[in-house]
Structure 1
Amino acid sequence: MVKQERALRTREALIKSAATVFDRDGFSVASLTAISSLAGVSNGALHFHFASKAGLADSVEEAAAERLDRIVTAHEGAVGNALQLLVNTSHDLARRLTEDVVLRVGFELSRDQVREGGGRLYRQWHQWVEGALKRADCEGVLNEVTPEEVAASVVAATTGFEVLRTQDPEWLSHRTITRFWQLLLPRLAAASVLGDLVAAGSRSR
């Protein structure tokens, strides 16, 4: 049991170190020696857990997917309708992308066209956003727009902010996400609920 716990801690340390080095140097340039050194383990220990840099990148993306899943389920049942749920979750995602290097690099790896199987996190986020909007439609809080059309716009904008953040952190700020929803909610929301929606995220978060 002790050995298993130690192995798990080592694996988690390597995943975080890999994300940090990928974030700093880029996946192509990042070296396994730099990753193992940052994690405080030998190259042999790294290769015990991961056969290659590509395998390590896959594990970073998988860990990021688990983080994204926790983000999108954290607010379930905490707000009155699915539109506010979507707003709150988008704010939480933006904040976590700023703070959590594993989540952030997972998205970066997910858009890397060189690696096979890319796009996992974007598909995961898109599916959740579309599902939330379909729930909003069933609740009667959408204003004559289709969930599919809105989901494409929301995903394009929110993931675009994540890409632009590399040039200016303000793109993922609370203010930027709030302004985005201030512009979009009047187009999306039924008049009966628009006044109750909080573009800055509701306090129930």
Structure 2
Amino acid sequence: MVKQERALRTREALIRSAATVFDRDGFSVASLSAISSLAGVSNGALHFHFANKATLADSVEDAAAQRLDQLITDHEGTAGNSLQLLVNVSHDLARCLHRDVVLRAGFELSRHQARTGGRDLHRHWHQWVEAALKRADGEGVLNAVSPEAVAVSVVAATTGFEVLGTQDPQWLSHRTVTRFWQLLLPRLAAAAALADVTPAGSRTAPHPPAAAPHLPAAAPRIPDQRGGTTL
């Protein structure tokens, strides 16, 4: 049991370290040596858990997808209607993309042209947004708009914030997302429902994202290319 727990801690440390290096250097440039060094393990230990960089990237995407699913689940049932739910989740997604390197790296890996066969977090997010808008339409909350067309606009904006946020975190700020919804909601929401939908989010952070269990208590800070540090 102790040996299994140690192996799990090592695997989780490698996933987080890989996310940090992918986020900092990009998938193509990232080296397995840099990842194992940041995790505090040998290259042999890394290869025991992951055959190559591609399988390690797949695991980062899997972990990011779990974080995205948990974020959505945490908000289910907390809003008065599905349109408010979408607003709330978009705020929390922006907040988590700013602070959670695994989630951020998962989205970045999904955009990488050199990778095939991995999870597509953008598509996963698009599917959920479209489903939420269709529920809102069924609830009578939407104006005379197409849920599918609106989903394209919402996903384009929110994923655009994610990309721009790699250079300037203000794109992922609560203020930026609120302004986006202030502009969109008057066109999107039915007149009778508009007053019931809060652009700033009615519950933007139900729970802070759980820290990955079993990771080292203090990962070293590494200068990143955006001028700050990554954990």
TM-score (normalised: structure 1): 0.97
Q: Deviations over 1:68-99 (max 9, x none)?
A: 10111111111110000000000000000000
Code of the residue aligned with 1:15 in structure 2: it is I
Q: CA deviation at 1:167?
A: 2.3
Does structure 2 retain, via aligned residues, the 8 Å contact 1:112–1:118? no
Asked if the contact 2:19–2:60 (Cα under 8 Å) also holds between the matched residues in 1, the reply is yes
CA distance in 2, matches of 1:61, 1:72: 17
Residue 81 of structure 2 aligns with an amino acid whose one-letter code is N
After superposition, the Cα gap between the structure-2 partners of 1:70 and 1:55, relative to the gap in structure 1 and judged at 3 Å, is same
1:86 partner SS: helix
Q: CA deviation at 1:119?
A: 6.1
Instruction: State whether residues 164 and 171 of structure 2, in contact with CA within 8 Å, keep that contact through their aligned partners in structure 1.
Output: yes
Residue 132 of structure 1 pairs with residue 139 of structure 2: no
C-alpha contact 2:22 2:30 (8 A) present in aligned 1: yes
2:48 aligns with 48
Partner of 2:63: 63
Cα shift readout 1:11-67 (whole Å, capped 9, x = no counterpart): 000000001111111111111111111101111000000000111011101110110
Q: Which residue of 2 aligns with 1:79?
A: 79
Are 1:170 and 1:176, in contact at CA under 8 Å, matched by a contact in 2?
yes
Specify the alignment match of 2:157 in structure 1: 157
Query: 1:24 & 1:83 partners in 2: Cα distance?
Result: 35
Contact 1:20 1:101 in 2 (8 A): yes
User: Which structure is higher in helix share?
Assistant: 1
CA distance in 2, matches of 1:148, 1:85: 17
- 1: CA distance between counterparts of 2:10 and 2:54? 18
- Whichever residue aligns with residue 51 of structure 1, its letter is A
TM score, norm. by length of structure 2: 0.86
Identity of aligned residues (%): 80
**Which runs of 4 or more aligned residues in structure 1 lie more than 3 Å from their structure 2 counterparts after TM superposition?**
none
* The 10-residue stretch of structure 1 (26-35 or 195-204) with the greater mean CA deviation from structure 2: 195-204
CA apart distance, 1:129: 0.3
Please, which runs of 5 or more residues in structure 2 have no aligned partner?
207-231
Please show how residues 96-107 of structure 1 align to structure 2 within 5 Å.
96-107=96-107
- The corresponding residue for 1:196 is 196
Indicate the residue corresponding to 1:90 in structure 2.
90
Amino acid at match of 1:129: V
CA distance in 2, matches of 1:26, 1:198: 37
- Asked if the contact 1:16–1:102 (Cα under 8 Å) also holds between the matched residues in 2, the reply is yes
Match of 1:18 in 2: 18
What is the aligned residue count?
A: 205
Deviations 1:139-164 (A, max 9, x none): 00000011101101000000011011
1:156 is matched by which residue type in structure 2? A
